[in-house]
């Protein structure tokens, strides 16, 4: 019991003096870090990943949809409000 307690105390003491890991290094204020690259899922700006992994445009052509904005095609092919 005493050996287990001593081993745990030594491990905690060693962890306190270990060098801290840094996932993101500090950057001076006002500097622009070059660590982040916005890629929108690998498709680029204005596109997103579709259900099969391909790239699709972020906007839709309103003329290509049978229902107005805020509605969707429901059972029987009728337009129904979203959330209903």
For 25-73, the pLDDT digits (tens) are 677 778 776 666 666 677 877 788 888 888 887 776 666 777 887 888 8
Is residue 77 very low, low, confident or very high in pLDDT (cuts 50, 70, 90)?
confident
pLDDT over 60 at 84, yes or no: no
- The beta-strand segments (E) located in 1-78 are 47-49, 55-57, 71-73
This prediction has a pTM of 0.28
The pair of structure tokens assigned to 22 is 């840094």
CA distance 27 to 32: 8
């Amino acid at each position: 019991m005493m050996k287990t307690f001593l081993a745990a105390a030594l491990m905690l003491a060693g962890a306190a003096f270990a060098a801290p890991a840094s996932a993101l290094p500090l950057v001076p204020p006002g500097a622009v870090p070059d660590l982040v690259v916005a890629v929108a899922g690998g498709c680029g700006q204005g596109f997103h990943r579709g259900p099969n992994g391909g790239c699709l445009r972020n906007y839709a052509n309103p003329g290509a949809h049978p229902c107005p904005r805020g509605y969707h095609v429901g059972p029987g092919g009728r337009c129904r409000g979203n959330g209903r």
